[in-house]
């Protein structure tokens, strides 16, 4: 049988207790890499528990960006398998699930989130 297609969706949110620094803007810096690993540590389990969990492949942070004086925006590309037997991706459903799992988009592990910042786009 043909291998399943892998589809991507974007995930964006803003952390209010992670001050943006210039080294977060450089994908090969130690700070970028370590912060990206921490984001995966917190985000991966949530998406594995979501409705797309069985089809979820993973997320990769593609950028951290300054969002005002103290906040850091996170831009990630996430992937899932698109097979007839796997759950169908619904950005609205995934948004609602992530919102619930982050206490109304306020907590991600020890990070605080801007409650108006979560964005899921398929």
- Burial class for 1, CB neighbours closer than 10 Å (0-12, 13-18, 19+): exposed
- For 90, the token pair is 């619904």
Going edge to edge, which strands form the sheet with 119-121? Answer: 56-66, 72-82, 5-15, 119-121
Residue 1 in any domain: the answer is no
For residue 102, the model assigns a pLDDT of 97
For residue 120, the model assigns a pLDDT of 97
Residue 95 in any domain: the answer is yes
Residue 20 belongs to a domain with what CATH number?
A: 3.30.70.960
How many domains are there within the chain? 1
Residue 80 in any domain: the answer is yes
Count of C-beta atoms within a 10 Å radius of residue 70: 12
Residue pLDDT, tens place only, 10-29: 999 999 999 999 999 999 99
N-to-C CA span, the chain: 26
- The predicted model scores a pTM of 0.91
Residue pLDDT, tens place only, 54-66: 999 999 999 999 9
- For 39, the token pair is 């984001």
Tell me which residues of the chain have a pLDDT lower than 50: none
Domain containing residue 36: 6-121
For residue 45, the model assigns a pLDDT of 96
Pairing state of beta strands 107-108 and 111-112? antiparallel
């Amino acid at each position: 049988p043909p291998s399943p297609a892998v589809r991507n969706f974007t995930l964006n949110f803003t952390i209010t207790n992670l001050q943006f620094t210039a080294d977060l803007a450089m994908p090969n810096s130690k700070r970028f890499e370590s912060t990206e690993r921490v984001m995966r540590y917190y985000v991966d389990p949530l998406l594995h528990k979501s409705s797309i969990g069985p089809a979820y492949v993973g997320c990769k942070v593609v950028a951290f960006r300054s969002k005002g004086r103290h906040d850091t925006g996170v831009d990630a590309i996430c992937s899932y398998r698109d097979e007839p037997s796997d759950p169908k991706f619904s950005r609205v459903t995934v948004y609602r699930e992530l919102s619930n799992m982050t206490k109304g988009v306020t907590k991600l592990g020890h990070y605080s989130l801007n409650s108006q910042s979560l964005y899921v786009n398929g």
